[in-house]
Structure 1
Amino acid sequence: MTSKFLKLTSLTIALFAMGTGAAHAEYPEHPITLVVPFAAGGPTDVVARSLGAELGKILKQPIVVENKTGAGGTVAAAHIANSKPDGYTFFLHHNGMATAPALYKNLKFDPLNSFEYVGEVVDVPMTLLARADFPPNNLQEFIEYAKQNADTINLANAGPGAVSQLCGSLLQQAIDTKFTTIPFQGTGPAMTALLGKQVDILCDQTTQTIPHIDAKTVKFYGVTTKDRISKLPDAPTLDEQGLKGFDFKVWHGIYAPKGTPEPVITKFNGALKEALKSEPFKKKMADLGAEIVSEERQTPESLKNWVDAEIKKWGPILQAEGMNVN
C-alpha cells in the first residue's frame, strides 16, 4: 500500500507541475494595465497608447492605459511600487524616474530597488514653442526679448520633475534669464493653454508638438537635441542657433512592481521587442519624431544601468540649482 500511495503521490505532483506550467504558458489570462504618470493626451500618454495597441495584439489581451498624475510622476511610481506583482500591472515612465531622488526628499519608492525593469522604448526630442502671437519670430529674437521682458513671460510645464520642467530649467540657465513658471497636470493641459494663448512658452516633446508645428498654430524656435531630426529636417537646433551644448531628449522605459515573476518579465520583454519592430508602431513614432531605441537598450539590464547613470548625472545638477520639492 505504501508503494502504491507513493506512486499516486508522485503522479499527483507531476500533474500539478504540468498544470502550473500550463498556467504560466497561458499568461496573460485577462487585460493588463499600463500606468502612465501624466495626463491623457500628453506625449508620454501618446507613446503608451500606441505601444499598448501593439502589445495587445501580441499578448492577445487588451492593454488598458491608466493615467495616474501628480508630483512629476512620483504618485504613479509609488502606486506601482506598492502594486501586486502579479504580472498585470506595468508602468511607462521617462527621465523623471532618474530625477526624482534629487527633487523629492521623501520618496515612497527607490528607483533602483522598488521595481522590476523591462526595457527601454523610445527617445523623443523636445521642441521650444511659444503661443502663436508671441512677438519674437526666431530664437535670437526670443533671447533678446526674454532678457528685456523676463518678468512678463510665463513658462508652462508639467510640474516638478517633468521633462518639460527640466528642459525649461536648462533653457533659463542657457540664456541666464528667469521666467515665471506655471505648472500643469501634464503637458496635454499645458499645450491646451498655449494654444489658447494663456501661457507664453513651453518645452514639449515632438510626440505632441509636431502636429501643431505643421499646422502653424504655435511659434517654433527649434529642437533641443544636438542634431537635427528627420521629421523636421529644416528645423535648426538650439545648439546651432547659438545655445552651444544644448542637448536634451526624453527616454522612456517600462517597469513592473518588485517581485513580478521572472517568466512574466521575460514574456513581456519579448512582446515589447516584437512591438518595437511592428510597422504600425514604427510609423507612428516616425511621424511624431520619436526614435525607437536599439535592441541593446530594449533589455531589463540596459534600462537599469541607464537609470543608475542618469540618477548620478542629474543629482548634482538639480541639487546645485536648488531644484528641490520637499
Structure 2
Amino acid sequence: MASVVHEKVKSYYSSLETGEDLQTSAACPAPSRLLSPSAKTALQQVHPDVCKRFLGCGVVVPEKLKGCSILDLGSGSGRDCYMLSKLVGEDGHVTGIDMTSELVEASRKYIQYHQELFGYAKPNTVFLQGYMEKLGEAGIKDSSVDVIVSNCVICLCPDKRAVLREAYKVLKEGGELYFSDMYANKVVPDSFREDAVLWVDKWIFKNMSEGHKKQCDIKYASGTYRIFKLPKHSIRSKALVTYKGTVPDCEEHFAFDASYSFKTNLTMDVDAEMAAILQCTRFSSDFTVQMTDEPDPSLDSTRQVYHLLNPFQLADRLGSCIKQCSKTGSTAACGTKTTSGNCG
C-alpha cells in the first residue's frame, strides 16, 4: 500500500502546473494568526512563478530563525523554502525535500535568483529528491537540523510514524518540528487512499458522496503543532519565567502556543515541559527561568496529557480549529480559538 500511495501522490502532483489545477474545490483554513512583518516581507520577495505553483495551504513560519539550519518536509514548489532562506539569513541554511522530481527540478531553477535578490555571496538553499520516511537515504545527516517545518504534507504519507522517527533523528538536541497538517477522527478507508484526488486534496469529506459520508462518518481538523527534541532528564519541575521581549517581531508579546502567551517583563508560572523547552532550545536566551522545585502532576498523568492533545476534543472545547501546540518527544499540545477556518 505504501508504494501505491507514493506513486499516486507523485503522479498527481507532477501533473499540476499551478495551484489552480487542483481538482477539488477544497481549501485549507486560513492561518490562525497573521504573518509577522519579517515573514510577510520575505514571502512577498519570493518569485511569482514559485508562488503560482504552490500547492500547499497556509504558511508555516516559526519564530527566531536567524542562522538556523532548516529542513522543509514536502517542499513542493519551494515557496516556503525561499521565504525561509530570507529569514535564516546568509549564515543559515534551508533544505527542501520532496519525492516528486518535477517539483524538485522546478524549485532548483530559482536558487540563483533568490541568492542574488537577497544579496548572499553563495546560495543557502538546496532541494533534494527523496522520501520523508527515509531522510538518511536522501542525504540528511543525523542531528544536523535546527528546525523542521512541514506544510500539510505528513498527512499524505502512508507511514507517518516513520516520518516522525526520521525527523527526531535528524534534529539537533533542542531542535523543533513545527508542522501544520490535517487530522481525521478515524482511520481513512483504503479506497480513499487509492483515489489520488480525494487523498491529495486533503479535505476528503467535502468531496465524498452522501452515501460515503454516512457510511464513514469521518471528520477532519486542521492544526499546527510544535514538537521539541529535548535532552534526557531535562523535564524536572515547574518554573517561574520572564520573557525579555527579544524574539524578533515579538517585542511586546510572544504567543508561543495555545497554552502559553508571554508578555514582556511579566513573570508567569509554566509547567515542567515548558520550562525545559525555554531552557534547552533556541529560545533559551529570551527568557529568565527560575525553577521552583515544585513537582508537575502532569508528568505522572500520561493518559491525561494525551487526552489534552486530541485536536478534535480541543476543537470542541474551544469552538474552533486548532491553532498551534508545543510539547516534547512524540507529543504535542493544545489548541486555541481562531476567527477563520472550520474543522469539518
TM-score by length of 2: 0.30
Structure showing greater radius of gyration is 1
TM-score by length of 1: 0.31
User: Which has more helix, going by share of residues?
Assistant: 1
Greater relative contact order, per chain length (Cα 8 Å cut-off, separation 6+) = 1
